[in-house]
A and B are shown apart, each in its own frame.
Chain A
Amino acid sequence: MTKCILIVDDEEDIRAITKMALEMGTDWTILTASSGSEALEVAAASHPDTILLDMMMPEMDGRATLKRLKADAATQPIPVIMVTAKAQPSSLTEFEDLEVAAVLAKPFRPLKLAGEITAILGWS
């Protein structure tokens, strides 16, 4: 079954590259949102299979967006993968308190992303 992924990032370039990379090796449907509030709307309307959520965004950051997603019964079950440039691969333990499926450190390698998402979420 084809998967639907929502990419949330305020950086247009990151959205474009991530979308392109995920589309390249899979038949997934890729949705994008440029802010936390847009993400809430898209998530509620489209029920993606997972959300790649950027931590550092203006106004509503990743943490706040995550809280809202988890507070809404409609979006609560959607697994969220947090993406952050503030963390090091060596220090992701700081994000342990978050209700997320995983934390990915930026910069990530777009071509490996589909494989990583599949592994994290246990998709076969």
Chain B
Amino acid sequence: MTEPAAKPYQADILAIDDTPENLQLLSQLLTERHYKVRSVTKGSTALRAAQAAPPDLILLDVNMPQMNGYEVCEQLKADDRTRDIPVIFVSALGETLDKVKAFQVGGVDYVTKPFQVEEVLARIETHLQLRSLQRQLQQQNAQLQQEIRDRKLAEEKFAKAFRSSPNPITLTSLPDCKFIEVNPSFLRLSGYTREEVIGQRAEDLPLGLSPTATAEGAAELSAAGVLHNREVDLRTKSGEIRTLLISVELIDLAGSPCALTVANDITERKRLENEFISLVSHELRTPMNSVIGALDLLATGHLGALTEKGQTLIQIAIANAERLIRLVNDILDLERMKSGQLTLQLQQCSLADLLHQAQAAMQGLAEPAQVQIEVEAVDLEVWVDCDRILQLLTNLLSNAIKFSEPGSRVWLSAAVERGAVDPAASLAPLSPFLHIQVKDQGRGIPTEKLHLIFERFQQVDASDARKKSGTGLGLAICRQIVQQHGGRIWAESELGQGSTFHITLPITNTPSSADD
């Protein structure tokens, strides 16, 4: 069934004339043209009718007893409810003065009797249209006013949040990284005034942020749209170094890309963390020394023979004590690297030797697991922290072996490459770099976990820590070592087919520090 067509709008016209014949004539004329007509013969009645239900237009006679047309019009214009209704005077008075008076009291038009029907109708239609347009304009205007009010309110809310946020917030243009706006928290933290900051780049101030890191961050932001929880050191105007945890969002400001950075000052938290770590380091390891020492002595059997079950229990206790010590050592290593307490000891060493040393160190794990380690390395002298790189390689090999089936192989290779190999890197390195790969044929890592595995305690399977006797920190340590050397680490994997860990390191031929 179709909906009945909407009835066309009938304009409501109020006709006022003390002569009933005139009224009837007008009424008939207008009704024939599909107007809705209300007729009244008295001014006072007309006012009440207009107030009760404001018509779209009023036709008003001038000469009427008691209250004439001018008085009626004046009262209509004095009332909010009826002020905007267009009034057309219809009168036998044809003097200019009469017409002027009609316009003075608020009339929109004046028709002299006797009138031409078509002329009256044309005028009525014109004023109805004008009135309709006026209404539309009023509505649009009201709507615009409301929108402006809403927008102002929203702006005020955000401006207040920006100004009163306890977190330092900055807005910088991209890609030139100049400050467009900063909040008072940022000014308090940095020690600079707003005038000193706006229009400047971080390195101009200087805030101690490396221009390379800033440019890389900007490129990464443009690609990813958001950067979460990056730790940066900021130098205040007085020279103090504050550690900030920042999150950056790429936003569009009037068509230009900008970076919105929200920072969290974690300097104090880091200091407490370091103190805590130092405490844990000593207080956990000292009793562990006694535990493991006592177990070792008991296990020798020199203090009395143990039963087979007793031996098993001692071995369980030793294995777990060792695991606990590994965990404490890994936590400390990671924290000290992150806090910058553990700096690189760069020295020249043979890359091939490093790879073979890592292989030899892991042979003890590989043999019982029946996993074969294959090494392929270029003969190259590199400036690295040899102990750290060895730690990195053994960590990765140890993981690869643990997750490999008996009879499978693990490959450790290193080569010098040029061009892009890292799918996540926004810029291809210009100079040749070292590309190390550790490849296995193990169970693989689900795609959704690939970006998590380098975080602390993020094992693919929650039970891995126990089953594979890992600490959940190995890859986080690896990432830290690689980052300290100015390189990148990432993994590629296919479920059931195996994983490949890639490391790229800049090749430095001089002892200049890689972790500047």
Residues of A within 8 A of B (CB): 11, 13-14, 17-18, 20-21, 24, 56, 85-86, 88-91, 93, 106-111
- Asked if B325 lies at the interface with its beta carbon under 8 angstroms from chain A, I say yes
Beyond A14-B290, A17-B289, A56-B282, 9 additional pairs, beta carbon < 8 A: A11-B290, A24-B297, A85-B281, A86-B282, A90-B342, A107-B293, A108-B289, A110-B296, A111-B300
- Which residues of B have CB within 8 Å of A89? 329
Interchain CA distance A111-B297 in the complex, whole Å: 7
Contact B290–A13 (Cβ < 8 Å): yes
- Which residues of B have CB within 8 Å of A91? 333, 336, 342
A-B contact pairs, 21 of them (CB 8 A): A14-B290, A17-B290, A17-B293, A17-B294, A21-B296, A21-B297, A24-B300, A56-B282, A56-B286, A85-B289, A86-B278, A88-B329, A88-B333, A90-B388, A91-B333, A93-B345, A106-B286, A107-B285, A107-B288, A111-B297, A111-B300
- Which residues of B have CB within 8 Å of A56? 282, 286
Contact A110–B278 (Cβ < 8 Å): no
Interchain CA distance A104-B340 in the complex, whole Å: 23
Contact B293–A18 (Cβ < 8 Å): yes
- What class of interface size applies to chain B in its complex with A? 20 to 34
A89 to chain B: closest residue by CB: B329
Contact B294–A107 (Cβ < 8 Å): no
Interchain CA distance A106-B329 in the complex, whole Å: 10
Interchain CA distance A56-B388 in the complex, whole Å: 26
A-B residue pair count with CB separations less than 8 angstroms: 68
- Which residues of B have CB within 8 Å of A106? 285-286, 289
Most buried by B among A11, A56, A107: A107
A55 to chain B: closest residue by CB: B282
B291 to chain A: closest residue by CB: A107
Contact B281–A86 (Cβ < 8 Å): yes
Majority secondary structure, B binding face:
helix
Contact A107–B289 (Cβ < 8 Å): yes
Interchain CA distance A106-B290 in the complex, whole Å: 10
Contact A90–B391 (Cβ < 8 Å): yes
Contact A14–B333 (Cβ < 8 Å): no
Interchain CA distance A110-B289 in the complex, whole Å: 9
A110 to chain B: closest residue by CB: B293
Majority secondary structure, A binding face:
helix
- Which residues of A have CB within 8 Å of B388? 90
- Which residues of B have CB within 8 Å of A13? 287, 290, 294
Interchain CA distance A111-B282 in the complex, whole Å: 22
Interchain CA distance A86-B297 in the complex, whole Å: 24
Interchain CA distance A11-B283 in the complex, whole Å: 11
Indicate which residue in A24, A85, A88 contacts B282 across the interface (CB closer than 8 Å): A85
- Asked if B353 lies at the interface with its beta carbon under 8 angstroms from chain A, I say no
Indicate which residue in A20, A86, A93, A107 contacts B292 across the interface (CB closer than 8 Å): A107
- Asked if B369 lies at the interface with its beta carbon under 8 angstroms from chain A, I say no
Which 10 residue pairs of A and B lie closest in terms of their CB atoms, listed nearest first? A107-B289, A17-B293, A13-B290, A85-B285, A110-B293, A85-B282, A106-B289, A107-B288, A111-B296, A106-B285
A20 to chain B: closest residue by CB: B297
Most buried by A among B286, B287, B336: B286
- Which residues of A have CB within 8 Å of B329? 88-90
- Asked if B150 lies at the interface with its beta carbon under 8 angstroms from chain A, I say no
B282 to chain A minimum Cβ distance, whole angstroms, is: 5
B286 to chain A: closest residue by CB: A85
Interchain CA distance A56-B278 in the complex, whole Å: 12
Contact B293–A90 (Cβ < 8 Å): no
Interchain CA distance A86-B332 in the complex, whole Å: 10
Q: List which B250-305 residues lie within 8 A (CB) of chain A.
A: 278, 281-282, 285-290, 292-294, 296-297, 300, 302
Interchain CA distance A89-B336 in the complex, whole Å: 13
- Asked if B176 lies at the interface with its beta carbon under 8 angstroms from chain A, I say no
B329 to chain A: closest residue by CB: A88
Interchain CA distance A93-B336 in the complex, whole Å: 14
Indicate which residue in B290, B332, B345 contacts A88 across the interface (CB closer than 8 Å): B332
Interchain CA distance A61-B273 in the complex, whole Å: 24
- Which residues of B have CB within 8 Å of A88? 329, 332-333, 336
- Which residues of B have CB within 8 Å of A11? 286, 289-290
Interchain CA distance A63-B394 in the complex, whole Å: 33
- Which residues of A have CB within 8 Å of B287? 13
Contact B297–A17 (Cβ < 8 Å): yes
